[in-house]
Amino acid sequence: MRDYPAPFARWLAGVSLLLLVELGAVLSFVLGVANDLLRLTLGTAPLSGAVSTSQSLPTLISRDLVPNRGYYTGEEWAGTFLGLEPKYAWLIRVALVVVYGAVWCGWLWFGYITFRRHYRVADWTPTDDIIDRLRSHQWGKFGMVIVALFLLLALFAPVVSPTTMEQNIQDPYSNQIQYFSEETGEVQTTTAGAANRQSTSVGSVARNVGPWEYDNFNRFHPFGTLPSGKDLFTFLAYGARISLFIGVSSMLGAGALAMSFAMISSFYKGAVDLALVVTSDSIQALPVLMILILAAVVFSNTWIATVYNGALLFIALFTLIYWPYLWRAIRGPSFQVAEEEWIDAAKNYGQHPAQIMRKHMAPYIVGYMLIYASLTLGGVIISVAGLSFLGLGITPPTPEWGRAISVGQPYVASASWHISLIPGFLITLVVTAFNAMGDGIRDAVDPQSAEGDEATAAAAGGGGA
Amino acid sequence: MSKMNTTPEQEHQATTADDEVLVSVRNLRKHYGADSFLSDDPVKAVDGVSFDIHRGETLGLVGESGCGKTTLGRTLIRLETPTSGEIRFDDTDITTLSGSDLKQWRRNAQMVFQDPDSSLNERMTVGELIRDPLDVHDWKTKSERDERVRELLEKVGLSENHYFRYPHQFSGGQRQRIGIARALALEPEFLVLDEPVSALDVSVQAKILNLLRDLQSDLDLTYLLIAHDLSVVRHLADRVAVMYLGHIMELGETERLFENPANPYTQSLLSAIPEADPYAESERITLRGAPPSPRNPPEGCPFSTRCPTKIRPEKYRSVDDDVWRAMEELRGILRERARTDRSIAMIARELLGLETRLSDIDEIVEEVFGGVDLPPELSTHVDRVVHEVTDGNPEAAQSYLKREIGGPCDTDTPEYYTVDDDGRSSYCHRHTAEYDPPSPTLRSE
Ligand code: SF4
């Protein structure tokens, strides 16, 4: 790389450019997370100032650049992007985000190709085959596209939402909006909360703001409104964040546990393995939903339930509950790898057990781990939604998809059908997408594996708590 | 042949005192499952073997699969911890090494594995694979390691530019060369070659064997060559140890042993390979049945359940061969039945007094002794057996038969006897003056 820096420099320049246009958002995200962590550990939040400064930095793709909130003066739209109708302004912004995401994906791929062409000495590696198989797996690619869109929705929730979280959901009565009143024929000001009260969706045609409609205050609702009059799309975009956060974190936790345990049990076998089998059996014997409900109730008034609106509690719970399922699923492959002669060879030249696991076992197991983690992730998302549906999940007013389904449930058969059905459909889509992605990875990692093998079914079944 | 109360090694040392011993093994045992509370009888994979390996020689280790030869090889390089016994390597007892001493010692003893598909981690480049042992032992500097890897690649007949390829891109023979290069990386003195060519095409086998021989003379290596293919051993080994059921049956200089096997087991094993001269009128000895389970080996001589020249008790020496063979077969069947675990259902049937599988003893006797003229004294034994088995005491039947028709091979462990002037030793009662010496044409007398 030192001898031939040009291609790498070119790629790096692209990355910086992509980061630069979103500098404010990236910085405020990173600083925000750091700040929250500090607040948790130290009790103070020394970075709050930096966070607000970074939020004021210019970002290319932001709601300020392409505003969609405005009012209709009777002849034209004021306050929106280029005077366009809010829905088009919003669509342009969403499109920009999608394009930005796509450019990132493309650039990362280009980076990989650059690495392959200029820097990697080997002209073929086993990973190449895996990637080639993944590239030709249509169902897996479909899954990955949906998952990528879901990621964008979560990451760019503040940008793709037609309104903001503070204004519309958390603190509607402290925020003013302007609108054009047809009665008086002039622009008037009211609070978002007051406006919400008149934009509710509660079943009757007269009192319903459906998908792709404007309310009486010139506000555009791509998915309609909630019974409280809040914007459903905004609610779901922020809800995606928390679902994804819980899903990914708990799968990272459970995955790391499962993988270490699988390698330890297959390397040492015997009593260690037996102890793990007994432990995981005991955990798997517990009724998952019961435990979740119980824990949610027991811990509901403790500090742990307040961290990230209860998300931390669920991450811990899902990690503890799901590692046995993942461990079971990868124990077989892990034992298979442990039987290979190269493990003996490494022992023979004195390699340390930890290094044997890391270098000579982990590369073979991590693929399987990805498969089962993505299959189970869907299950976690469903579980969180299910708990929120029961009123035990994430604390209000933090948005969570399950709660949208729950509050919309009485209106399913009415004009306000969208409140339940849209989030329900989205959950199904996302879970299917994660499954499709898992299938794709499985066929890429392990081309011989037959369709619908037992372990997959078990992991997926275990996921649907 | 004189009986001498010594191990084969002490014998051998007497004749080849000038050779320096590199590895010296004494009464080595490796039992599996002995420490576990879950299993009943331990598997006696290696059950008391003693031998020496001299510096610079190749000791071949042959035997049928399951005889314990691979376990023995793995124990010698401490991939298994021995149950008891001693392995001296250059005067260090390596059975007690641990921690960094063990790691340090491992540089001296490496292994070439059987299956080139399984012995190389497919996710590492050839260079990384061969360098891994060097990295583990922090061998010199990084660039010297790279240099060493390239040198090793050349040495085993590959080329430098294979460094960044993956095992997947090589043929079986080439992969075995990579495995050999990795084994050589730390400059060991001793290599265990575990069936190094059995997974390869016949056309490639000779090349790999020649490579191993060239490397041996170049680098002063000492080999333990484990193989079931006798021609491979004959090609490469200076001396051969023949293993059966955890014991060494015969050990001696290769050509002499192959030309004139002394032990009944070696004789049977060798007669199983086709003669180079198809017109040679040699009698084939077919081995009866499968070897007994190492979980439950026979008392006395390990080969006693299958030996074609097993010693009969005095009073039955005159009995017709066919009759005697039928008697032994009956014993074999009883033993076989005891081995197959009785299922819960069978035990329940037995308790309820229902017919069990063992009650078809009449049919068995019918089949075994059909057309055989049974002398009256043997006939009583058979009747007794039928009686005991029908009563549900197959164990009693077994011990009765052993008592009545068993000979020294069933009760006494043989000794090692020196059988030629080159110090060859063989593990068989027949080398005593009392009995006829074993020979391939000898019938069970
Ligand atoms: S001791 Fe008896 S059974 Fe064993 S090999 Fe010699 S003759 Fe055969």
**Contact (CB<8Å) A348/B137:** no
Q: How confident is the model at residue B243 (pLDDT cuts 50, 70, 90)?
A: very high
Give B-chain residues touching A355 at CB under 8 angstroms: 136
pLDDT average, residue stretch B113-136: 94
pLDDT average, residue stretch B20-39: 82
pLDDT digits 0-9 by tens, B118-129: 999 999 999 999
Q: What percent of chain B has pLDDT over 70?
A: 84
pLDDT digits 0-9 by tens, A108-162: 999 999 998 888 888 888 888 899 999 999 999 999 999 999 999 998 888 888 8
Alpha carbon distances (Å) from A146 to A139, A141, A212, A219: 11, 9, 21, 28
Mean pLDDT of chain B, nearest integer: 85
Ligand 1 test: best mutation among B244, B309, B442, most atoms within 8 Å of CB?
B309
Mean pLDDT of chain A, nearest integer: 85
**Contact (CB<8Å) B107/A364:** no
Q: Using CA atoms, how far apart are residues A343 and A15, in angstroms rounded to an integer?
A: 40
Q: pTM of this prediction?
A: 0.82
Pick from A69, A22, A30: which is nearest to A51 by CA?
A30
Higher confidence at residue B362 or residue B285?
B362
pLDDT digits 0-9 by tens, A176-229: 888 877 777 777 888 888 888 888 888 888 888 888 888 888 888 999 999 988
- The domain defined by A242-460 carries CATH number 1.10.287.130: no
**Contact (CB<8Å) B77/A348:** yes
pLDDT digits 0-9 by tens, B4-14: 444 554 444 44
The region of weakest confidence among A282-286, A455-459, B279-283 is A455-459
pLDDT digits 0-9 by tens, A351-406: 999 999 999 999 999 989 999 998 898 888 888 888 888 888 787 778 888 888 88
Measured in Å, residue B411 CA sits from the centre of ligand 1 at: 11
The region of weakest confidence among A124-133, B38-47, B136-145, B248-257 is B38-47
pLDDT digits 0-9 by tens, A258-315: 999 999 999 998 889 999 999 999 999 988 888 888 888 888 788 877 777 788 888 9
Q: Using CA atoms, how far apart are residues A147 and A137, in angstroms rounded to an integer?
A: 15
The pair of three-digit structure tokens given for residue A199, joined into one six-digit string: 């934009």
Q: What percent of chain B has pLDDT over 90?
A: 53
**Contact (CB<8Å) A121/B123:** no
Give A-chain residues touching B103 at CB under 8 angstroms: 350
pLDDT at A437 over 70: yes
Give B-chain residues touching A336 at CB under 8 angstroms: none
- A355 interfacial to chain B (CB closer than 8 Å): yes
pLDDT at B424 over 60: yes
pLDDT at B2 over 50: no
pLDDT at B70 over 60: yes
Q: Using CA atoms, how far apart are residues A243 and A401, in angstroms rounded to an integer?
A: 8
Each domain of chain A, given as residue ranges in start order, spans: 165-230, 242-460
pLDDT digits 0-9 by tens, B154-202: 999 999 999 999 999 999 999 999 999 999 999 999 999 999 999 999 9
Size of interface A-B (CB pairs under 8 A): 73
B64 burial type by CB count under 10 A (0-12 exposed, 13-18 middle, 19+ buried): middle
The ligand 1 atom at the shortest distance from the C-alpha of residue B263 is 5
At A100 the pLDDT is 92
Q: What is the ipTM of this complex?
A: 0.83
- Which residues 79-118 of chain A have a CB within 8 Å of chain B? none
- A336 interfacial to chain B (CB closer than 8 Å): no
- Measured between CA atoms, how close is A125 to chain B, in angstroms? 7
At B35 the pLDDT is 58
Test the A interface: residue of B79, B112, B125, B132 with most A CBs within 10 Å: B132
**Contact (CB<8Å) B132/A346:** yes
At A279 the pLDDT is 94
Q: Which residues have a Cβ under 8 Å from the Cβ of B368 and sit 6 or more positions away? A: B326, B329, B330, B333
Instruction: Specify the residue with its C-alpha closest to ligand 1, atom 4.
Output: B301
Query: Would the CB of B430 count as within 6 Å of ligand 1?
Result: yes
pLDDT digits 0-9 by tens, A239-263: 998 888 899 999 999 999 999 999 9
- Measured between CA atoms, how close is A162 to chain B, in angstroms? 48
Q: Using CA atoms, how far apart are residues A272 and A264, in angstroms rounded to an integer?
A: 8
Q: How confident is the model at residue B286 (pLDDT cuts 50, 70, 90)?
A: low
Chain B residues whose C-beta sits inside 8 Å of any chain A C-beta: 36, 74, 77, 79, 102-104, 106-107, 110-111, 113-115, 118-125, 132-133, 136-137, 163-166, 168-169, 179, 182, 185-186
pLDDT at B295 over 90: no
What is the CB neighbour count within 10 angstroms for residue B441? 9
